[in-house]
Amino acid sequence: MEIWINPACSKCRSALTLLDAEGADYTVRRYLEDVPSPDEIREVLKRLGLEPWDITRTQEAAAKELGVKDWPRDGANRERWIEALAAHPKLIQRPIITAEDGTAVVARTEDAVRDALSR
């Protein structure tokens, strides 16, 4: 499994602590440094079963600057959202765990981390 983290994020640190406590085998991806490509974002969205606006941190400064809250949330604008996430990775919700069964979870709670571990 892989976990996308921002080391400054307390939710990310909590998820790593739980993964370590459970003896999980995982790879850390510091997604602000190793920025996901649009294709990787599309793949994670597919695994999550979500749309790009579902994992966008709309309160971030870059989101406000771009005005993403006002962007249409529809298929015609999906690529615009994905490109924004790739160009501004701070907008990506965190942490995201890609599970071994091909799914993924936004692991902001202990229950979500445990869910990823059970897959």
Active site residues: 9
Say which residues have a Cβ less than 8 Å from residue 118's Cβ, sequence separation at least 6: none
- Using CA atoms, how far residue 87 sits from 22, 27, 29, 45, 78, in Å, is 34, 23, 17, 16, 14
